[in-house]
Amino acid sequence: MSCEHLVCAQCAHPVIEGRCALCRANRERMHVHGISPMLILAALIALLFLSLAIQHLL
């Protein structure tokens, strides 16, 4: 879920802007600092190409 379209109940501004303490706290809570799905997908594609290259050499 993204906070781009959410409106803060305290300051009535978009949460993504982080204008008040509540906005900033919720924005940080929603943006989990883990491995992103795009990074996992890129690693899987790289692994696929690596396995195809090794199979081609054998």
Answer yes or no: is pLDDT of 4 > 80. no
Q: Taking a C-beta distance cutoff of 8 angstroms, is the pair 15, 26 a contact?
A: yes
Amino acid at 39: L
Token output for 20 = 């008040």
The average confidence (pLDDT) of the chain is 85
Count other C-beta atoms under 10 Å from residue 15's C-beta. Answer: 23
0.85 cut: is pTM over it?
A: no
Amino acid at 22: L
Residue range 2-14: average pLDDT? Answer: 83
